[in-house]
Amino acid sequence: MGFKEGFLWGGATAANQCEGGFDEDGRGLANVDVCPTGADRNAVITGKMKMYECDENHFYPSHKAIDMYHHYKEDIKLFAEMGFKVYRMSLAWSRIFPKGDEKEPNEKGLAFYEDVFKTCKMYNIEPLVTITHFDCPMHLIKEYGGWRNRKMIDFYLNYCRTIFKRYKGLVKYWLTFNEINMLLEAPFMGAGICFEEGENEKQIKYQAAHHELIASAMATRIAHDINSENKVGCMFAAGSVYPYTCKPEDVWEATKKDRESYFFIDVQSRGYYPSYALKEFERMGINIEKEEFDDEILKNNTVDFISFSYYNSRCAAKTVSKDNIAEGNIFESVKNPYLKYSEWGWPIDPLGFRITLNHVYDRYQKPLFVVENGLGAVDTLDENGYIEDDYRIDYLREHIKAMRDAVTIDGVDLMGYTMWSPIDLVSAGTGEMKKRYGFIYVDRDNEGNGTFKRKTKKSFYWYKKVIETNGENID
Ligand code: BGP
């Protein structure tokens, strides 16, 4: 027995990393458009360096990205050729509400996504839509301070109502916030927050988290009211944290680290703040401002399923020396000596994927959806212009095997798998094009040169076979 019938195989992208067309057809400027490549990117996405406008000294990769805004028909056709059952994508909020606080949406933005969904349907591809994947209209940041402000809930819900109504019958799978726990690590990218000197950053981040959690719960209710077929999921950056040694102090450190991420999902899935967080807030003097019905809203509107990204496991120790740090999906961690590392220094740990799937399922007992997993690598064209990306195939094969074990041996209830990303796109962490994930190559480089021409890689044909055999034939 393998994956269940109807298992949703596919791939995932995010609007700001692939669409381009950042000022076309009335789209407004968003936080993701002012995050440059290069040395300043980290300071900007973490809210340490305020960049509210674009300047001439920086390059902003989201402006053109891979120009999917004009290539989506061709790209979805290629996804269909691989046999995709599902395509996870996100909407650019500022395409639909350019400023964010308007009452009426921008019809051109709505029409664009309607056509994207219709194109998917033509190929029997089910869209899985992330309502916000790291994006927030810039006007809401300048005017209201992003998610630190409770008013954001209303703007977000107006946007949700609009899309749930407009895409009723076209979309039934929704994710409220991409990697909601990223708010803690990259608050500008995750929640449109910049800090002023001397501010209590933790207080602001957890207040913003509360706003997002309420918004997510309310959105779940509205989605269900508008269409009872709608299924709404939460989404977090996962990757279980291992203790560096079996020293109890290291084990405790790992437990605490895991909880930083689980905190969000505990609320979204169980419907209340976990006691460890309440105690921690008390100790740290963090005071979450709540309104009268907030607890009820959280309790009555938990998610239908839980989705997450998995790139790597993490590792924690009580004492860490500076030269023993590994990179990873934004989160740094202690270097695990038993693992191999990608070209970007991310640990490669397929068994960790099985472990994570089990941890998450044990904790919540709700259907899971893996909505990101993949390898960022440098691809080189051979003399015939072909890309033999065996390293990518190896990474995905081992991870899919581990996922299969979690399902078939451990009994994890898994709805689907969308790898990141079926087509090369701009890296969220570094802004590079050189860090390629795709089955489809895009002719575009870090400096913005290239023709945007698409080209299938070896892995394209491998994944087609994986889907054809429902994950049986993966060698
Ligand atoms: C996740 C994001 C994606 C994606 C991925 C890979 O955090 O949800 O948007 O980009 O990581 O990370 P990177 O692009 O930094 O290689």
- Structure token digits, residue 311: 């790139």
* Residue whose CA lies nearest to ligand 1 atom number 4: 428
The Cα 311–Cα 349 span in angstroms is: 8
Q: How far is the CA of 1 from the centre of ligand 1 (A)?
A: 32
Q: Which residues approach ligand 1 with their CB closer than 6 A?
A: 14, 17, 178-179, 237, 309, 329, 372, 376, 420, 427-430, 435
Atom index in ligand 1 nearest the CA of residue 346 equals: 16
Burial (CB < 10 A; 0-12, 13-18, 19+), residue 455, is middle
> Measuring CA to CA, which residue among 58, 34, 65 is closest to residue 47?
34
Give me the percent of the chain exceeding a pLDDT of 70: 99
**Cα atoms in the 13 Å half-sphere on the side-chain side of 211:** 24
DSSP calls for 121-138: HHTTPEEEEEEESS--BH
Atom index in ligand 1 nearest the CA of residue 429 equals: 15
- Pocket probe mutation, ligand 1, options 327, 329, 330, max atoms within 8 Å of Cβ: 329
**CATH architecture assigned to 8-468:** Alpha-Beta Barrel (3.20)
Please state the rounded mean pLDDT for residues 386-410: 98
The Cα 356–Cα 397 span in angstroms is: 17
- 55-69 pLDDT, tens digit per residue, is 999 999 999 999 999
Please state the rounded mean pLDDT for residues 444-473: 97
Q: How far is the CA of 35 from the centre of ligand 1 (A)?
A: 14
* Domain limits, the chain: 8-468
Please state the rounded mean pLDDT for residues 114-142: 98
pTM of the predicted model as reported, rounded to 2 decimal places:
0.97
Q: How far is the CA of 333 from the centre of ligand 1 (A)?
A: 17
The Cα 434–Cα 402 span in angstroms is: 28
Please state the rounded mean pLDDT for residues 265-278: 98
The Cα 14–Cα 285 span in angstroms is: 36
Q: How far is the CA of 107 from the centre of ligand 1 (A)?
A: 29
pLDDT of residue 328: 67
- Structure token digits, residue 19: 């669409």
- Structure token digits, residue 285: 């003097």
Please state the rounded mean pLDDT for residues 140-145: 98
**Does position 320 have pLDDT exceeding 90, yes or no?**
no
- CA angle (129 as vertex; 449, 83 as ends), nearest 5: 75
* Residue whose CA lies nearest to ligand 1 atom number 14: 427
**Does position 89 have pLDDT exceeding 80, yes or no?**
yes
* Residue whose CA lies nearest to ligand 1 atom number 5: 428
Atom index in ligand 1 nearest the CA of residue 344 equals: 16
**Does position 331 have pLDDT exceeding 80, yes or no?**
no
The Cα 156–Cα 159 span in angstroms is: 5
Instruction: Decide if 424 contacts 441 (C-beta within 8 A).
Output: yes
- Pocket probe mutation, ligand 1, options 45, 183, 184, 437, max atoms within 8 Å of Cβ: 437
- Lowest mean per-residue pLDDT among 90-94, 309-313, 315-319: 315-319
Mean pLDDT of the chain: 96
Atom index in ligand 1 nearest the CA of residue 179 equals: 8
* Residue whose CA lies nearest to ligand 1 atom number 9: 428
Q: Bridge-partner residues for 306, per DSSP?
A: 234, 368
Q: How far is the CA of 428 from the centre of ligand 1 (A)?
A: 5
* Residue whose CA lies nearest to ligand 1 atom number 3: 428
- Pocket probe mutation, ligand 1, options 372, 395, 435, 446, max atoms within 8 Å of Cβ: 372
**Does position 330 have pLDDT exceeding 80, yes or no?**
no
- Pocket probe mutation, ligand 1, options 31, 185, 420, 430, max atoms within 8 Å of Cβ: 420
Catalytic residues: 179, 372
pLDDT of residue 319: 86
Give me the percent of the chain exceeding a pLDDT of 90: 95
Q: How far is the CA of 413 from the centre of ligand 1 (A)?
A: 25
Q: How far is the CA of 132 from the centre of ligand 1 (A)?
A: 14
* Residue whose CA lies nearest to ligand 1 atom number 16: 427
Element (H, E) at 308: strand 305-309
**pLDDT category, 323, cuts 50, 70, 90?**
confident
**pLDDT category, 333, cuts 50, 70, 90?**
confident
pLDDT of residue 457: 98
**Does position 447 have pLDDT exceeding 90, yes or no?**
yes
**Does position 193 have pLDDT exceeding 90, yes or no?**
yes
**Does position 329 have pLDDT exceeding 80, yes or no?**
no
Q: How far is the CA of 247 from the centre of ligand 1 (A)?
A: 32
CA dihedral over 371, 375, 379, 384, signed as positive or negative: negative
* Residue whose CA lies nearest to ligand 1 atom number 10: 428
Instruction: Decide if 104 contacts 57 (C-beta within 8 A).
Output: no
Residue 99's CB is within 10 A of a number of other CB atoms, namely 16
Query: Within its chain, how far is the Cα of 17 from the centroid?
Result: 11
**Does position 370 have pLDDT exceeding 70, yes or no?**
yes
- Structure token digits, residue 282: 């008390």
- Structure token digits, residue 14: 């995010």
Please state the rounded mean pLDDT for residues 207-215: 98
The Cα 74–Cα 337 span in angstroms is: 43
